[in-house]
Amino acid sequence: MIVSFTQLTAYVLGLLLLSNLLKRIGRNKASRLPLPPGPKPLPLLGNYLERPKEEPWLVTDKWIKQYGDLVYYRILGQGVLVLGSLKRTHDLFDKRSKIYSSRPYSYMLSVLCGWDFAIPVQGYGDIWRQHRRVFQQYFNINAVSKYRPIQLREARKLLLRILNDSNPMDVKEHLRNTFATIVMEIVYGYKVVDNDPFIHITEEAMDGFNAATVPGAFLVDMIPIMLYLPSWFPGGGFKKLAKKWKKATMEMIDVPFFKVKDEMKRGVAQPSITSSMIQSVAEKPKAEAEAMEQVLKNTAGTAFAGGTDTTISAVYSFFIAMAMHPEVQKKAQKELDAVIGTDRLPEFEDRESLPYINAIILEVLRWQNVIPLITPHLSTQDDIYDGYFIPKGTVIVGAAWSILHDPDVFENPLDFNPERYLKDGKVNPDIIDPAIAIFGFGRRICPGRYLSDDTMYAMISSTLATFNIAPPLDPNGVPVQLKCQMSSGTITCVLLFIHWLSLI
């Protein structure tokens, strides 16, 4: 029997209608309380036509200003709750973490693109706890200090590459290679080379992650029957994209892991987290060691994937901020000169004596936070909160951009102003640390945040101690007025990245 596209569409719409009716019946039995406020949904479609596409954090911020810091909307049959303040995120993700710590299941991301290995994607439960426990052994606040020599060495190699390259457009590529080198060496003992094909594989895999984690971006996540559509069928084009992304994802996690295993057998493996993990299970019974191997491979893959794009994007924002605010740059360089002089580069031991540098790092994270809508959580049971009913299966999104741009908390929030974090020449502990919103909430907070912070310090302090960063000049020799515009996606990135660097 051949099913026409019209018949399939009617069937899908019928399923949506039935699903919505069943959910309403279930909700009426569970609670007569209202859902949180939000934009009015259309029948069947919900707010699908209004769903944020370009710069979605600004759309949700508009809704937060209109409806308050709890905003509920629907994409087809899926309810989404946006939390627009630290109070709301603390109440649900911390105080009620038992029912708000899971993840929504994405067929596009987990099944079709192959990202079910990643710890941030895994549902809340024993498997997630096992992976996270292994991860934290190597990335807790005490463990990351041993990676600092690698971070400083690569930061200084970056300075030399920039110094020897006359093309300012190459700086972005140098930065990307530097970050990849840091993470690859720490995780796999792998030395990245120029034009390394593995970097391009990783970029393609991350493109898939970035696209597939946008709520409502792919209908298959709301209409799972679309999994069975052939790629040539109308509406099945997402499968072609997924096939390409999955191939890159599998190579990203398999190739370096098995390379380390092979090098260990030959006795030539470099020190790395992966070699340490494999060695830690070597004496276990064969069946147990084999069962753990997948956990170790997943953990290593998560460390690599999670340690590149987010930190790179933050440092891109630093460069554009310095080009736009030379007065901030000068003040930072003055502090560096006073603390370390001009005959050496900053070390980690200097960090406590560099409050303005630390304030710049904090403001970079806040000003253009790289994950403006935190990776969604999922409610695992019906709940009543502040007089509203939150159904089981609701996707919960922490609006990090809105939280970190709240004018009641941060004066003139669109301005880049490190001074907001300082008081009496020290970092003011009373000001909200943007890490609270940037690295996730509750039990799902990013376990790699300490490594990211150290890498940012090494890169930013070394760059400011060596170079001036300035905008390009127009034909008349006048500096171009820059505007910081971010890409759309789960992980955002500065779109305009043109600058000049010169030695101080």
Q: What's the Rg (C-alpha) of the chain?
A: 24
Beta-carbon neighbour count of residue 98 at 10 Å? Answer: 12
Between CA 324 and CA 452 the distance in angstroms is 24
What is the rounded distance in angstroms from the CA atom of residue 393 to the CA atom of residue 379? 5
For 117-172, the three-class secondary structure string (H helix, E strand, C coil) is: HCCCCCCCCHHHHHHHHHHHHHHCCCHHHHHHHHHHHHHHHHHHHHHCCCCHHHHH
The whole-angstrom separation of Cα 460 and Cα 318 is: 8
Report the length, in residues, of the chain. Answer: 504
Domain ranges across the chain: 5-497
Instruction: Determine contact, residues 232/213, Cβ cutoff 8 Å.
Output: no
* pLDDT reported for residue 1: 42
Residue 404 neighbours by CB under 8 Å, 6+ apart: 366, 369, 410, 413, 432, 434, 437, 438
Q: Can you spell out the DSSP letters for 220-237?
A: GGT-GGGGGS-TTSTT-T
Q: What is the pLDDT of residue 32?
A: 81
| Burial (CB count within 10 angstroms: exposed 0-12, middle 13-18, buried 19+), residue 341 | exposed
Q: What is the dihedral of CA 136, 139, 143, 144, to 10 degrees?
A: -170
Q: According to the model, what pLDDT value does residue 82 have?
A: 97
Neighbours of 371 (CB within 10 A): 24
Q: Output the pLDDT for position 90.
A: 93
What pLDDT is stored for residue 388 in this prediction? 97
**Residue 446 among known ligand-binding residues:** yes
Q: Give one word for 218, left, alpha or beta, with left for phi > 0 and alpha for psi -120 to 50.
A: beta
List the pLDDT tens digit at each of the 504 positions of the chain: 444 545 455 555 555 555 555 555 555 555 689 999 999 999 988 888 887 677 889 999 999 999 999 999 998 889 999 999 999 999 999 999 999 999 999 999 999 999 999 988 888 889 889 999 999 999 999 999 999 999 999 999 999 988 887 676 678 888 888 998 999 999 999 988 878 888 889 889 999 998 898 877 888 988 899 998 888 888 889 999 999 999 999 999 999 999 999 999 999 999 999 999 999 888 888 888 888 999 999 999 998 887 677 888 899 999 999 999 999 999 999 999 999 999 999 999 999 999 999 999 999 999 988 889 988 999 999 999 999 999 999 999 999 999 999 999 999 999 999 999 999 999 998 888 898 888 887 777 888 889 999 999 999 999 999 999 988 778 888 888 887 777 777 778 777 655 566 666
Q: What is the pLDDT of residue 166?
A: 64
Six-digit token pair at 87? 């109070």
Kindly list the distances between the CA atom of residue 489 and the CA atoms of 35, 247, 301, 436, 492, in Å, as whole numbers in the listed order: 27, 21, 21, 21, 6
Residues 312, 175 contacting (CB under 8 angstroms): yes
Looking at residue 68, its pLDDT comes to 97
Helices assigned H by DSSP within 213-325: 238-266, 273-280, 286-306, 309-324
Q: Kind of pairing, strands 78-83 and 395-398?
A: parallel
Report DSSP state, residue 217.
S
- What's the CATH number for 5-497? 1.10.630.10
CA distance 151 to 148: 5
Assigned token pair, 364: 């970079």
Q: 219: which residues sit within 8 A by CB, 6+ positions away? A: 76, 226, 235, 238
- What does the pLDDT read at residue 233? 87
Q: Which two tokens stand for residue 180?
A: 């990849």
- For residue 17, the model assigns a pLDDT of 54
Inter-axis angle of helices 309-324 and 326-340, nearest 10: 100
CA angle 389, 25, 66 (to 5 degrees): 40
Reference 335, options 313, 354, 310; nearest CA is 354
